[in-house]
Amino acid sequence: MRVIINKELLWFCLFFWFAFLLAGCAGKYAKKDYPTRTLIVPLGFESAYENIQYSAAVKVGNTLIVSGVSGGDFGVTLEDKARKAFLTIKRILEYAGSGLGDVVEIVTYHRNMADFYRFATVKSEFFKANYPAWTAVGTADLVNPDAEVEIKVTAIIDSGKNVRLQREWRAIK
């Protein structure tokens, strides 16, 4: 069996194949723009980043996830340690171009849940309005043996500029 190849058709197909490649493989073959992941390592966190692979925060698009922070061995009382942790979180958020007003979620890990209301009082010093979602978890241990609480937050950068309160006070059936 003999195959006859039309040279003009072959050149025509090659031309369009190259044009398709040069156009960036349009359609489903086009290169996607993936969001950039930025590791946030403020001054003072370098050794934690290098030694235990700890990023103070990770920013993807306009979402900022701050790693767990404890007041550690700062101060004597739970209140002192919680304030130190919130101040550290505030510093990390500001370093990444955000602030406490952009926080949409807080997760706190408590060594002693009986201290919950004492902690909540300190939290209210930093979040006076537009309260973020909050989950409090009781745990037997934290990484830092001197810590009584560890705080993790998620922020959406610039989300604090346009806040709307939606509430409904009907009983849920």
Bridge partners of 110, per DSSP, are 138, 149
pLDDT at 27 over 60: no
Of 90, 133, 81, 135, give the one whose Cα is nearest residue 108: 135
- 3-state SS of 100-112 is HHHEEEEEEEECC
The 10s digit of each residue's pLDDT in 81-107 is: 999 999 999 999 999 999 999 999 999
- Rounded Cα distance, 15 and 144, in Å: 65
Q: Which CATH architecture has domain 37-159?
A: 2-Layer Sandwich (3.30)
- Rounded Cα distance, 149 and 68, in Å: 10
- The reported pTM is 0.76
- Rounded Cα distance, 143 and 70, in Å: 9
